[in-house]
Amino acid sequence: MSEPLASPQVPAAPSVANPSAELTLIHDTPIKLKFKEVLSSKTAKQNQEITLEVAEDVVVRGKTVIAKGATAKGCVAEVERAKKMGHKGKLSIVLTEVQLASGETMPVRGTHSKVGGTAVARLVLTWAIAPFFGLMAGKEAKYSVGTEVIAFVDGDRQLDPAQFSGATPQPKSISQAKP
């Protein structure tokens, strides 16, 4: 005789006590950052860690999840000093993480590049009147204090609403990328 087959057990769906209490930081949410110190192609080194600060609160469902003034990090991806003959300096950065209001860190993504300049008219004039035109140097690439850049949240993140305070009204708060 054969035994009757037991019916397979289907796991119960997880219960959510209060769906309105869910708090998710959505992939691609923009975060406005600003430089806390000067970064120049003259002094920067490849792979050098850089620290920025959040320029505006990021609010989700009435909770400040990333506070203005929070720390963000990245690194110098490429650096090239300015050279003679008007060769401009180059500086590229990669943004990697931001601190949440709960103290945790969240991965972000963003790349930004700057190219130094040179006064082309001055360079042409120098070529025309001076035999030493090769001594004219290009300008260094530079991020000044307060220069703003944008990073984007890298992946969705479920957050515990109890770890975040209510938002304080801010005139230019960045909202979620998706509803």
Over range 123-150, report the average pLDDT: 70
Over range 155-179, report the average pLDDT: 69
| Residue 169 clears pLDDT 70, i.e. is over it | no
pTM, two decimals, is 0.71
The 10s digit of each residue's pLDDT in 19-34 is 455 899 999 999 999 9
DSSP secondary structure string for all residues of 12-49: PPPP-S-GGG-EEE-TT-EEEEEESS-EETTT--TT-E
Q: Which residues contact 113 (CB under 8 A, 6 or more apart)?
A: 78, 90, 91, 92, 93
**Cβ–Cβ under 8 Å, residues 40 and 93:** no
Q: What was the pLDDT predicted at 175?
A: 52
Fold of 24-161: Lipocalin (2.40.128)
Task: For CA atoms 106, 112, 116, 119, give the dihedral sign.
Answer: negative
The 10s digit of each residue's pLDDT in 3-12 is 444 434 434 4
Q: What percent of the chain has pLDDT over 70?
A: 68
The 10s digit of each residue's pLDDT in 37-84 is 999 999 999 999 999 999 999 999 999 999 999 999 999 999 988 876
